[in-house]
Amino acid sequence: MNDMDKRQEMMQRDVTLTAIAGLSLVNGMHFSPWFDPVAVLLRPFLAGTLLGSPLVSLYITSFFLSVMTLLVAGVPAALYERLRGDGKTSPTSLYIWLVAMILLTMHALLAWVG
C-alpha cells in the first residue's frame, strides 16, 4: 500500500467519523423527539445542584443524548468487529456505525427539516 492509498483511507475514515459525530450532535438538539423525555428523566438527578439551572440542564441533556446516541449506534459495529476477530477497525465497521447512527437520528433529521 503506497502513501496515497494510506492518505485516501485516512480521509475516508475521517469523513465517516465526522459524519457520525455530526449526526450525534443533531440527535442531541432541542428539536429531537428524544430530547424532552431525556430532560424529564435527568431533571431529578440535577435538581438541587449547580447543574439544576434551566440553561445548564438543557446543555447537559443535549450532551447526554448525543453521547448515548453515539454509544448505542456503536454497538452493531462493535459486534461486527468482535465477530470478525480482527484487531483493528475496518471501513466496513465504520459504515455500519454510520448506518446505525442514521437510523437512530432519522426522527431528529425529519423534525429538523420540517
- CA 20 to chain centroid, in Å, comes to 6
At a CB cut-off of 8 Å and minimum separation 6, what does 74 contact? 97, 100
Q: What percent of the chain has pLDDT over 90?
A: 71
User: How many domains does one find in the chain?
Assistant: 1
H-helix or E-strand containing 77?
A: helix 54-84
Q: Is the pLDDT of residue 1 over 70?
A: no
pLDDT for the residue 104: 94
Give 41-50 pLDDT, tens digit per residue: 999 999 888 8
- Higher pLDDT among residues 97 and 89, named by residue: 97
Domain with 34, as residue range(s), is 3-113
DSSP string, 10-42: HHHHHHHHHHHHHHHHHHTSTTSTTHHHHHHHH
